[in-house]
Structure 1
């Protein structure tokens, strides 16, 4: 008989804003220096049976995520702060409660532009490929647009 009990706790309180009981703050990426001031938390994952991972990222004021692309799409919900993101060739301003769809293979990067962290929830498939960084040719193509060139941080 299959055990249908939840693999994780059915409830995790929030003792302070954007911090959840039993949810550790993790390094954004291991052995990578292509970002500044980013942390992540895995809110739901493999043990939940849904086939997705729900993560919460915080980008410190003035910080940015890695410029990358990958095969899997992801969905982003801005929960706090303000900022901007690059999705392929568009720089998009971000405010609380905005939704962003990053299609597969779209170049993307997130930046915090306000005085508080840019916090966002990100939903990705559990079975996903690894991010790919831009080659010099990719970077040249991306930065041919002056608006994109001014936005990108490395």
Structure 2
């Protein structure tokens, strides 16, 4: 006989009628996928406030900034054809997972092609940049520390 007290069902597992977190809460939330890399309750945001060597990028914050206590943030970025992220470095690490199209990522002096479901770890203080030289959008999930330093944009 299994000990049922060892396995408790959490609020997240049984679901909820709430789909969007309030900013002052730390509750489970489900953001329904609507297709074409959009989610219910998730708005497009600017990539950065100033155009420091980047162009044609959409950012969607999936987890982070809505009162969650997670020690990480999950964001979706989409780079339009011909677009590029800024060339930068920072002390925090992150993970990039290609989920749409293909792109090119620079880490240090190395350039690599990223394809669907390729996963890249970018270590702290590594110069990096993502770009889309293709004719279709390049979309990726980016997972970063919730507490992180500001990127240092390079020329």
Normalised TM-score (structure 2): 0.79
For 1:32 and 1:129, the matched residues in 2 are separated by 19
For 1:134 and 1:17, the matched residues in 2 are separated by 32
Q: Which of the pair is proportionally richer in helix?
A: 1
For 1:10 and 1:84, the matched residues in 2 are separated by 33
User: Which residue of 8, 28, 38 maps to 1:19?
Assistant: 38
> By how many angstroms is 1:9 displaced?
5.5
User: Which residue of 39, 54, 60 maps to 2:80?
Assistant: 60
Per-residue Cα deviation, 1:7-41 (whole angstroms, up to 9, x for no partner): 35521112222000000100000022410101101
Alignment partner, residue 32 of structure 1: 51
Per-residue Cα deviation, 1:125-148 (whole angstroms, up to 9, x for no partner): 11100010226xxxxxxxxxxxxx
Q: Which of the pair is proportionally richer in strand?
A: 2
Alignment partner, residue 142 of structure 1: none
Any gaps of 5 or more consecutive residues in structure 2? 1-10, 13-24
Any gaps of 5 or more consecutive residues in structure 1? 136-154
| Number of aligned positions between the proteins | 132
Residue 33 of structure 2: SS of its match in structure 1? coil
Normalised TM-score (structure 1): 0.79
CA contact (8 A) 2:52 2:153 kept: no
- Indicate yes or no: 2:43 matched with 1:43: no
Tell me how large the CA RMSD over aligned residues is: 1.8
Per-residue Cα deviation, 1:100-144 (whole angstroms, up to 9, x for no partner): 111111000001122211100001111100010226xxxxxxxxx
